[in-house]
Structure 1
Amino acid sequence: MFAHLFRHFKGNKPKDLPEPDEKLALGALLVRVAKSDHNYNVREIRRIDRIFQQLFGLNVVAAAKMRATCERLEEHAPHMDVFSEMIREGVDFDERLGALEAMWQVALADGAERPEELAVVDRAKHALGLSEADNALARASAVRQLDEQG
């Protein structure tokens, strides 16, 4: 289904990395948001792991392994639009909105709104085909999640 999106990986992607699916694409986007300010910290890493546990029913170890794979995918990805397009084409509206909410959770996980992270989230919003109203809804939901979970 996503073969046309991976032409950008040819020659870049190490052979031991899996072909990304919607889950790995979301994970790579979350890592990209967290790394965009050049301060990939423990709070962001924990938030990504928690998102994987909640969304995909993974245990702590499996979530950490998935994050490690996503970190490597993100490192070799040409640009985030590839992953956003995978999500847009592969999942319904509610799941795309959930993906944007997860990105907001990561962007806000360290308690600071950094312009670089906000720019990545905004670009992903457009690539996911979501509106400003969708963005506001996703951000508000992310803030509630962060407040509830600490």
Structure 2
Amino acid sequence: MLKSFLSLFADTPAPALSASDAEFAIAVLLVRLARADGTYGTQEQARIDRVIAARGGLSPWEAAELRARAEEAESAAPDTVRFTRVIKDGIPYEDRIQVIEALWDVAFADHSRDAEEDALIRLTASLLGINDRDSALARQRVEAGRA
């Protein structure tokens, strides 16, 4: 699956995207965000597992396996654009807002808000075509749910 996913970015005609491609790209972005501040701990890993399990209806074991594959892909990927493109092409706007909520959820997992994470979420929202208002509302919903 990882090999086929990464082949989406080769200079060949793009194959049709599946929902699993978009979900994998989301998992990679969640890992990238969790690593953005230079620390990647068990709290963030557990939060990523919960988010991707809930999104995909996966068992905890399946979610951890998907996260492990996403960690590998994130380490090998030079940029964020390739993943946001898959998401933007694969899911509707309203669901992309939920991706921003998932990113904020992971960003708050370690109970701190870092400039690197904020910047990556702003970049991701822009690349996903999410306007500033909807992005801010997504963050506020996540913050309100954590109170």
Alignment TM-score > 0.5, same fold: yes
Structure 2 unaligned spans of 5+: 12-19
Q: Find the counterpart in structure 2 of residue 34 from structure 1.
A: 34
Deviation sequence 1:83-135 (CA, Å, 0-9, x none): 01111111101110011110111111111111111111110010000111111
Q: Find the counterpart in structure 2 of residue 13 from structure 1.
A: none
Structure 1 unaligned spans of 5+: 9-19
Q: Find the counterpart in structure 2 of residue 85 from structure 1.
A: 85
TM-score w.r.t. length of structure 2: 0.85
From the superposition, tell whether residues 145 and 124 of structure 1 become closer, same or farther in structure 2 (CA, over 3 Å).
same
Q: Find the counterpart in structure 1 of residue 146 from structure 2.
A: 146
Preserved contact between residue 50 and residue 63 of structure 1 (Cα < 8 Å): yes
Establish whether residue 102 from structure 1 lines up as the match of residue 106 from structure 2: no
Q: Find the counterpart in structure 2 of residue 63 from structure 1.
A: 63
Preserved contact between residue 109 and residue 146 of structure 1 (Cα < 8 Å): no
Deviation at 1:73, TM superposition (A): 0.8
Deviation at 1:3, TM superposition (A): 8.6
Distance 1:4 1:118 in 2: 29
From the superposition, tell whether residues 4 and 45 of structure 1 become closer, same or farther in structure 2 (CA, over 3 Å).
closer
Deviation at 1:4, TM superposition (A): 8.4
User: For this pair of structures, how many residues does the alignment match?
Assistant: 135
Moved over 3 A (4+): 2-5, 144-147
Counterpart amino acid of residue 37 in structure 1: D
From the superposition, tell whether residues 145 and 49 of structure 1 become closer, same or farther in structure 2 (CA, over 3 Å).
farther
Distance 1:142 1:79 in 2: 26
Q: Find the counterpart in structure 2 of residue 53 from structure 1.
A: 53
- SS for the counterpart of 1:32 is helix
Distance 2:146 2:49 in 1: 14
Counterpart of 1:6 (choices 6, 9, 28) is 9
- CA RMSD in angstroms, aligned pairs only: 1.8
Report % sequence identity.
Answer: 36
- SS for the counterpart of 1:21 is helix
Deviation at 1:5, TM superposition (A): 4.9
